[in-house]
Structure 1
Amino acid sequence: MRMVDIIHKKRNGKELMEEEIRFFIEGYTKGDIPDYQASALMMAIYFQGMVPRETALLTKAMVDSGETIDLSAIQGHKVDKHSTGGVGDKVTFIVGPLVASANVPVAKMSGRGLGHTGGTLDKLESIEGFNIELTKEQFIHNVNQHKLSIAGQTGNLAPADKKLYALRDVTATVESIPLIAGSIMSKKLASGADSIVLDVKTGSGAFMKTLEDSKALAKEMTAIGNNLGRKTVAIISDMNQPLGFEIGNANEIKEAVAILQGAKVEDLRRLSLEIASHMTVLAGAFEHYKQAYKTLEQHLENGKAYEAFRQFVIAQGGNADMIDDVSKLPQAKHHIQVKSDTEGYVAEIDAESIGTAAMYLGAGRATKDDKINHGVGITLKKKIGDEVKKGDVLVTLHANKENPEDSIRKIAEAYRFSDEPVESPTLIHLVIQD
């Protein structure tokens, strides 16, 4: 078998067979296939696409390129979630405890963030003492004991994906839906969950800007999961403005705690309940979605979900005083109000610009070596549909410098106003279950 023949076949729009896909993935992972041939195949896939069977085979080959995590020692049906990323997305810290409160195990491997805010692990490290570097034995023990653990990825998961993603990033082939789907699902499948709920974002602050593209990606990923024996559901949710009101690491932990204690931040609460409900139904804890939603809503009201989060924090070495009293979480030195110089109704908030403003403050990383500042961030005071008068505060910047000009400029760029009333965007566009 020759790599040039595989490139030629895909270039002409033909379907690749399992042995051809495995030949490529195994050869490229070992270093036997050069970057220039891998790049040529990626570009052929970008233009010609893949049928669902091909994408599933590509994903499985990437899973098999390295280690898989054996979670068979965890009791019960293990569920996981994945978000394609957004601004202010702290849903994991609400969903995990909600699902655990229904006695369903959540075993989640996460990473650090490169972009506008830290990743899941960075945010958790806002809590003093929180340990994300667990051994496999500790991880499994915590899930069995408390039904929830979140730790850093260990082992050599899907090394083919790491190599291919780095190559796609410099060859203008990142935006291929089969390649995006394979990349995401290879890591999820290697992580050992029995069922997966995907939160696919759409809009200005999402990787996929249009509903059409988000729907195509969601369908591709659910097909991969279901074809490879993992029950998978995808929810397409809106990211045309940040989720909730807080952006930043400690800020987002603070808002997640508020929701777990019963706060009514409408979009964040609704999306968390939606995802958690589907996870618990997939695990068999409830027969119907409506039953799951109603019960989990009660767990937010009666403190069961908060207690699950508290026990999770303690089990991983975190200082529970910091979540019982969130004022003890890291704080910025300065709190700067950015006020409106116009009036009307908020018509648009470019979530990506808000995220960039947070990164300029130090909430995220421009390069992988940058250090995260856990205390800095942004609090939104006005969201889409809100009426604004001249001089009203749009956001509060939590900064360690007195005059964060770059962030103030990005905030000004993010907001657009209308003279007429504006409706809030639809939060959940679609649920794809097969």
Structure 2
Amino acid sequence: MPPSRFAVPAEVPGLAARRIAADILDGVLHKHRTLDDQLDGAGAHPGLKSLADRDRALMRRLVSTILRRLGTLGHLLSRLLDRGIPTDAPRAQSALLIGAAQILWMDVPDHAAVDLSVRLVQSDRRAAKYAGLVNAVLRRCAREGQGLLEEVKTQSLDLPQWMLTRWSAQYGESTTREMALALGHEPSLDLSVRSDAPQWASRLHGEMLPTGTVRTLLQGSVTVLPGFAEGQWWVQDAAAALPARLFGDLKDKAIADLCAAPGGKTAQLALAGARVTAVDRSPARMARLRDNLARLGMETENIVIDSVEWTGNGQSFDGILVDAPCTSTGTMRRHPDVAWLRQEADIAPLCVLQKRLLQKAVGLLKPGGTLVYCTCSLEPEEGEHAIAALLADESGLRRVPVRKDEVAGLEEIITADGDLRTLPCHLPHADPRLGGLDGFYAARLVKS
């Protein structure tokens, strides 16, 4: 029997993944929505439910590659376009970015990258008129793109100018170039394990870092990896795993973890034997923390409240971890959208909040207690400057420098003042995907 002339044509393989990638790119670049919001939870893209695992992985890689190399892509496309990227049709912009990223950096045949980008444009009413342009530009990209790419000497194009200027002033131009290079690579998966890290490194086809973190290049959903359901490990960047270790022996100590969700550091504190009170203002994030700790078989007291307003229920603590909200510029290896969502103007109001959190922590701390402050920011105002200001205001606090034996001998991550400062270019590796750390700052203070 011949097919009905009214039958709906089958979806072209791979087109759905690219359509969702285009939607999510539009969400980041034009609607200022984070990747996390669009990939998980209540605000996740509705089309994700029907994507096969392979297409979901392709979509994620497409989006992250484009956001990582957005400046370079814009530069190259401007060289290939006579009149610049069309501004009246966001889908045409997305189709050009998606096609060029596949041609330049992904293992996708050029003809497939061009064809699917053209189909993407044709399916959008406003962008359809640009189908011929997209086809011509991407075919030219396939011929000339690699040559043009070699003319781009550094990856500084992929950092916003305000960030590039600040980092050059703070860390020097050479280190900033190394950081930009590190941020251009898709990172590994880092895991904190309950015990026997060498065994888990072997089972997960990875390696154990000097700090004890297991690092692997395994792709796909972490929930299907060995050990996840049994609560043997949790996902946590190697740098993020360092601040909680600065407390030393935590057996039976009362520790408050302020701004605790999603709970990676909370789990470290609990595993070390502390009696942990986890505090976070977000009910949704706290629910995620509870789920994570339940899987790990760990118990903590969990309180949903703004940490600045929390009184401690009349209790004082042996130690307090302040993992303060910040610009998150140190997390761009894993969250490349941060580069395009954050502005320099965001720093000042966050510094005000960080100061209030530090003051709250000092008031809740027992005499002789330890305060560990950390941020996943590369901006000194949110790290070194915040602690310098606190020490100037609080005569009853003293800094306790981090020792190199506490950070696996990695002297390069200890500042002249004795604080911890990791950079994306730290911990280099012959395979750049296995190198690098998130940018973190941490300081340890004791109350007299």
The TM-score range, normalised by the shorter chain, is under 0.3
Q: TM-score, normalised by structure 2?
A: 0.23
The higher radius of gyration belongs to 2
Q: TM-score, normalised by structure 1?
A: 0.23
Q: Which has the higher contact order (CA 8 A, sep 6+)?
A: 1
